[in-house]
Structure 1
Amino acid sequence: MHARVVAASAVAVLAVVALVNPTSDARAGEVRTPLVIGHRGAPAYAPENTLPSIDKAARVGSTWVENDVQRTKDGELVVVHDDSLQRTTDVKRVFPGRAPWKVKDFTAAEIARLDAGSWFSPAYKGTRVPTLDQYMRRVEHNHQSLLLEVKNPELYPGIERQILKTLGNDGWLDRPHLKRLVVQSFSADSVRTVHELKPALTTAYLGAPPVSQLKQYARFADLINPSYGSLSKSYVSAVHGVRGAHGRPLGVYAWTVDDKATALKVAGYGVDGIISSKADVVRAALRGR
């Protein structure tokens, strides 16, 4: 047991080094292997954004996982991707008269009644939508690191401050944990707000801003995380040529890469990280290149 914990911690440290200085190997002229992040945990093997999913991610070697955070009607932060509960829970059966079943229209107690696993497999019947607090405790238990997405912030005014409060209460805003945490969003305003509230925190913008605008994003972001289909080697190089909010070259994490050919192609562009729903497949591909 002790040996497994030490090994997991060592891998996590290596992942942190890659995050903190993502372009150091490139400057040294060495071949860099991107960090691989488990997209919503391990959704090829367990229901996405659930505790079983990040447990499975840990078992297949993911020291970093990604999730999505939204807010219930009564102000609880929950980990779920869609703004509707319909796709990944049995909400339509439990609450048939409440279409379109938006997360923001249900209380935390109501969401806690939902089955978030049976849609994926009968083996996961009874799996629940986790609160952010529950999720962070499990990430800590698994010795994992987290890429946290502020999802649909326009629906939840003030969610950035609330997320940071929860992270702080769970001990995730001290110096050691800040090396294991990145907050990202598709909303530049949301990323900027997080940076202003907690300047020491690593932040990422989801998207591919024009090269001419990268310096603007670099004022509040450390990473630019685009869809892999929007990437090119020249774009990655341009991003690396701009220093981010903490004075380091901007990093690039590409999403969502789930097969060997795409993983090798994107790695060839020089990206610093790859977000994948099949992180074990991507890591194997990169090891064998």
Structure 2
Amino acid sequence: MYRLCGVAAGAAWTALLAGAVQAALLAGTALAAPAERPRADNIAHRGGSGGAPENTIAACARARAAGADLCEFDVQQTKDQQLVLIHDETLARTTDAEQVFPGRAPWQVADFTLAEIRRLDAGSWFSPRFGNEGVPTLRQALELLGAGGAGLLLEIKHSPRSPGIDRRVAAELQDNRALWQGRRLSLQAFDWQAMRLLHRMVPGVPILLLGTSGARLPADTGYASALVLPHAGLTERQVRGAHGRGLRVYAGTTDRPRVLRRLVSYGVDGIMTDRPARLRGILAR
């Protein structure tokens, strides 16, 4: 894949980072946590996959009605370099691609054009009542945002099969600035170096860094607004350390009430969940 940093460079960068958001975050713990803790963002993981087929417009609409502040979507690139919302690199799990295109195994997203993908049913696997749901485009998600829907947190899925995806995401956002200007829109990815360069292309869009509890922060995180860390192993001390460096902390992904309450008590700035209605109830209390 074309990546702004390249696959090998990205792997080297990840190796360089491996070892501790822990040590770097703990270095900031001497700084006081914010005096007031605003309510954590309720982030619908994959658009809210607990109540509707993941990464669909229907999922995000239902999640918004259930109290979600943001819908998290995964962005991938088609064969003809269009941007669609789907998590897996293959179409098999969440569409009827095997039936519609039986001779096209392993049904990689990057091997199909947008016109072909639009023929697929992306909802019936979840429930027959979602039979009209298709694989949405990034443009559709931006239109939903522009119409007053939930905010968007877009995860760019970097793959060797998707050359130039960062540039195309940036171009799509620039071409549709009127749809998201003044609304809540953020980008995230595991490839931190690519995100640094993407920030230069669309400087008005907040950048979130996906990591692990053992990832070490580079010295310069000025291009980033937040860290997204797994809930397992996350401590209040780490959250305070990140806040001390001027970074928000988003935790993911869990639906368990006990874990949700623990994360809220830590003062995280957002939580990803498949069931935003459950998190809404906890935040209300």
Q: The TM-score by the shorter chain falls in which range? A: 0.7 to 0.9
**Paired residue total:** 254
Aligned mates of 1:85, 1:152 — CA distance in 2: 16
Aligned mates of 2:220, 2:241 — CA distance in 1: 13
Aligned residue number for residue 27 of structure 1: 34
Determine if the alignment matches structure 1 residue 237 to structure 2 residue 236: no
Determine if the alignment matches structure 1 residue 47 to structure 2 residue 22: no
Determine if the alignment matches structure 1 residue 268 to structure 2 residue 275: no
Aligned residue number for residue 227 of structure 1: 230
Question: For 2:136, what is the secondary structure of its paired residue?
Answer: coil
Aligned mates of 1:50, 1:267 — CA distance in 2: 27
Q: How does 1:190-205 map to 2 (within 5 A)?
A: 190-205=194-209
Aligned residue number for residue 210 of structure 2: 206
Aligned mates of 1:231, 1:154 — CA distance in 2: 31
Aligned mates of 1:91, 1:175 — CA distance in 2: 35
Stretches of structure 2 that go unaligned for 5 or more consecutive residues are: 1-31
Change (3 A) 1:79 1:287: same
**Does the aligned pair in 2 maintain the 1:63–1:143 contact within 8 Å?**
no
Deviation at 1:280, TM superposition (A): 1.1
Determine if the alignment matches structure 1 residue 91 to structure 2 residue 97: yes
Q: How does 1:1-289 map to 2 (within 5 A)?
A: 26-28=33-35, 30-171=36-177, 175-177=181-183, 180-208=184-212, 210=214, 213-216=216-219, 218-242=221-245, 249-288=246-285
Cα deviations by residue, 1:164-202 (Å, 9 ceiling, x for unpaired): 21122222587513xx11100011122112112122321
Per the normalisation by structure 1, the TM-score is: 0.82
Deviation at 1:225, TM superposition (A): 0.2
- Computed over aligned residues only, the root mean square deviation of the Cα atoms, in angstroms, reads 2.0
Aligned mates of 1:72, 1:255 — CA distance in 2: 27
Per the normalisation by structure 2, the TM-score is: 0.83
More helix by share: 1
Cα deviations by residue, 1:117-173 (Å, 9 ceiling, x for unpaired): 110000011311011112211232243211111012543222112112112222258
Question: For 2:43, what is the secondary structure of its paired residue?
Answer: strand
Q: Say which structure, 1 or 2, has more relative contact order (CA 8 Å, 6+ apart).
A: 2
Change (3 A) 1:113 1:217: farther
Aligned mates of 2:178, 2:251 — CA distance in 1: 25
Amino acid at match of 1:230: G
Deviation at 1:253, TM superposition (A): 0.4
Deviation at 1:210, TM superposition (A): 4.8
Cα deviations by residue, 1:43-94 (Å, 9 ceiling, x for unpaired): 1111111111111112212231110100000111001011111110001111
Cα deviations by residue, 1:248-278 (Å, 9 ceiling, x for unpaired): x101000112121110111122211101111
Deviation at 1:234, TM superposition (A): 1.6
**Does the aligned pair in 2 maintain the 1:83–1:152 contact within 8 Å?**
no
Deviation at 1:209, TM superposition (A): 6.2
Q: Percent identity?
A: 39
Amino acid at match of 1:198: V
Question: For 2:198, what is the secondary structure of its paired residue?
Answer: helix
Stretches of structure 1 that go unaligned for 5 or more consecutive residues are: 1-24, 243-248
Amino acid at match of 2:237: S
Aligned mates of 2:42, 2:264 — CA distance in 1: 11
Amino acid at match of 1:126: N
